[in-house]
Structure formats: C-alpha cells, structure tokens
Structure 1
Amino acid sequence: MFQIGELAKRCNVTADTLRFYEKNQLIQPAGRSESGYRLYNEENQKQVSFILKAKDLGLTLEEIRELLEIKLEATEHSCAEVKAITTAKLSVIDEKISELTRIRSALKKINDACCGHIDDDASHCSILGALASEDQAASSCCKK
C-alpha cells in the first residue's frame, strides 16, 4: 500500500489528477492509514493505467466510468456491451472527421484565393471578403 504521491509518481500523473479521478468515481483508495491518508495498491495503479489509455483514445469520463464498471463486473456483462461503447465513439469520431474535412476544404479554398503579398494592404483581402460576405466564394485579392 502506498500514498497518493507514490501512485501519482508511478502513473506519471499529478496527485490532483488522482483526486479528480476519485471525485469522479473512477478510482477509490484501497484504504486509509491510521492517520487518515488515502492508501492505494497495485490494483489502483492498474485502474489509473486503464483510465489513461482510455483517455488517450478520446473516451469521455462517462464512457471510461462505464467501461470500468463493466471491467469490475465482467462476468455480469457481455463483450457486445463494451463494443457498443467503442462503436458509438467511432461514430462520433467519424462525424468530427467529416466536419473537419468540410471546414478544411472551405478554409483552403479562401486561403488559396489570397495572394498574401506583404506589400498589399488588407483592404482588398479576399479572405476578409469571403468571411464578411454571405456567399463564401473567394475571389483573388491580388492587384493586377
């Protein structure tokens, strides 16, 4: 058993991060010392590692909490329940990728239409014009 500082060091996070996880019911101390300090064990370290890996995959705290609950009572749940969580997350990510692709395309279009000459003032900048107009058509801003 070890205190929060040791768990934080082992997991390469701060003690505040661990307190946050505890507050959000993602981990619970294995016990308390006689003086009231939180005590953690190897299982807590494994839980924090699980949380960090899930977080790196973009899972929300709620999704991580669900997965931890399933993991703790694995015999009471099916693999399909776990897959449903990751399938739903993939759908959200696919939607974000589509939106970002659309945004990138629109931004690239107005960016490509601008000559970006350092000697030209911005009064005829096509990027500013495209952002100010209701139609997003970009016309060249270069002086001809």
Structure 2
Amino acid sequence: MYKIGELATLSGLSVEGLRFYERKGLLTPASRGANQYRMYSEQDLARLRFIQRAKQAGLSIKDILELLNLREHAATARCHDVSSVVGHKLAKVQQQLAELRAFETTLQTLHNACCGGEESAASCSILKALDDVIE
C-alpha cells in the first residue's frame, strides 16, 4: 500500500493531480489507514498508468472514464464499445487536421503573395487580400 505522496512519486504525478483525478472520478477515493492517510494499492498505480497513457493518446476525461468503465466490465463489455470511444476521438482529430490543413493553405497563399520587403504596408498584398475577403 502507498500513501498519496508515494503514489505521486511512483506515477510521476503531483499530489494535487491525484486529488484532481479523485474529484473527476478517474481514481477511486482511497481507503484510509488508521492514521487517516489515504492509502493506495498496486491496482491504483496500474489504473493511473492506464489514465496517463490514455491522456497521452489525447483522450478526454470523459473518454477515459468511459474506457475505465469498459475496462472494469471487460468480461461483459464489447470490443466494439471500446473501439467506438477511440473512433469518435479519431474522427474529431481528423476533422481538426482537415481544418488545420485548410488554414495552412490559406496562410501559405497569403504568405507567398507578399513581397516581404521594406516597402510601406499600405501596399501589402496580405492586408489587401484580407480587406478583399472582408468586404
């Protein structure tokens, strides 16, 4: 069993981070020892590592909660349900990437049209292009 500070050290998280996870329902509130210290198990450490890997994959707290629930009920949950959580996130990321590519194209076009010289900005092609778009 680990005290909260020990679990923080082992997981690479702060004590406040662990308490945040408890408040959000990602980490089950710990049992209390006779001294009233929060005590955590190896299973809690494994759960934290799962949460950290899910965060690194870009999953939201809501997504992670759903995956943790599916993980806890893996015997009765369907793989499709797990895949669906990740698939929804993937679709969002793909949409964001498409939007970023469109931004990149627009910015590249604006940048390429500009001479970038020492002339007055009154004749800057970027400002003119943006004025034309707005009007």
- The 3-state SS of whatever aligns with 2:18 is helix
User: 1:127 is aligned with what amino acid?
Assistant: I
Deviation at 1:48?
A: 0.8
Deviation at 1:113?
A: 0.9
Q: Which residue of 1 aligns with 2:121?
A: 122
Listed as ranges, the matches of 1:45-124 within 5 Å are: 45-117=45-117, 119-124=118-123
**TM-score, with normalisation over the residues of structure 1?**
0.86
Deviation at 1:122?
A: 2.2
- The 3-state SS of whatever aligns with 1:39 is strand
**TM-score, with normalisation over the residues of structure 2?**
0.91
Deviation at 1:124?
A: 2.1
Identity %: 36
Q: Which residue of 1 aligns with 2:11?
A: 11
CA distance in 2, matches of 1:45, 1:128: 55
**For each residue in 1:92-119, what CA deviation from the matched residue of structure 2 results, as whole angstroms up to 9, or x when unmatched?**
11111111111110011001111212x2
- The 3-state SS of whatever aligns with 1:62 is helix
**For each residue in 1:68-90, what CA deviation from the matched residue of structure 2 results, as whole angstroms up to 9, or x when unmatched?**
01111111211111011111111
Q: 1:29·1:39 contact (CA, 8 Å) conserved in 2?
A: no
CA distance in 1, matches of 2:131, 2:52: 43
- The 3-state SS of whatever aligns with 2:35 is coil
RMSD: 1.6
CA distance in 2, matches of 1:108, 1:12: 40
CA distance in 1, matches of 2:39, 2:131: 59
Aligned residue pair count: 135
Q: 1:22·1:28 contact (CA, 8 Å) conserved in 2?
A: yes
User: 1:126 is aligned with what amino acid?
Assistant: S
Higher normalized helix content (fraction of residues): 2
Structure 1: tracts of 5 or more residues without a match: 137-144
